[in-house]
């Protein structure tokens, strides 16, 4: 009888590198991660979110779609509730990108669930959900 060895002969199945990876997430100050957390206190000037980098295409750039989902922001200028904002960024492979949100206005500080998603061209994505809460005074 022949002994069958697993993993010999046939092509090597090496794990595919994802085209997009999460670097870190949490609360940032001046571009540096200060606290790795998904719990974010409502505070003017607070910046939270994640950083990601793309690994493909090597030596090139690609488009990454950034989607921010909020509990619902009421923009006084539009007098309408916004739940999602979308943008498409041109990213250089290997560089770190900030996918963050900063509370700059009172009306932007919505308590509840915020989700940030960065989607690569092939559909793979990194995603983080944050809980924005009212800090105790």
Which of the pair, 124 or 5, is modelled with greater confidence? 124
Query: Confidence class of residue 61 from pLDDT cuts 50, 70 and 90?
Result: very high
CA–chain centroid gap for 113, Å, is 14
For all residues of the chain together, what is the average pLDDT? 90
CA distance linking residue 105 with residue 91, whole number of Å: 28
Helix (H, G, I), strand (E, B) or coil at 1: coil
The predicted model gives 7-18 an average pLDDT of: 59
CA distance linking residue 20 with residue 94, whole number of Å: 9
Identify which of 58, 61, 57, 84 has the alpha carbon closest to the alpha carbon of residue 73.
84
> What pLDDT score was predicted for residue 17?
75
Residues 17, 55: contact at Cβ < 8 Å? yes
Query: Confidence class of residue 16 from pLDDT cuts 50, 70 and 90?
Result: confident
Q: What values do phi and psi take at 107, rounded to 5?
A: -70, -15
């Amino acid at each position: 009888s022949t002994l069958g060895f697993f993993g010999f002969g046939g092509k090597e199945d090496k794990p595919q590198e994802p085209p997009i990876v999460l670097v870190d997430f949490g609360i940032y100050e001046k571009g540096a991660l200060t606290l790795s957390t998904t719990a974010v206190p409502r505070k003017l000037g607070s910046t939270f979110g994640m950083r990601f980098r793309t690994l493909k295409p090597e030596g090139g750039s690609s488009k990454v779609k950034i989607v921010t989902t909020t509990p619902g922001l009421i923009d006084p200028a539009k007098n309408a509730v916004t739940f999602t904002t979308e943008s498409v960024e041109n990213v250089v492979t290997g560089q770190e990108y900030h996918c963050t949100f900063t509370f700059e206005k009172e009306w932007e500080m919505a308590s509840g669930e915020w989700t940030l998603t960065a989607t690569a061209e092939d559909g793979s994505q990194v995603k983080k959900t944050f809980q924005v809460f009212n800090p105790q005074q």
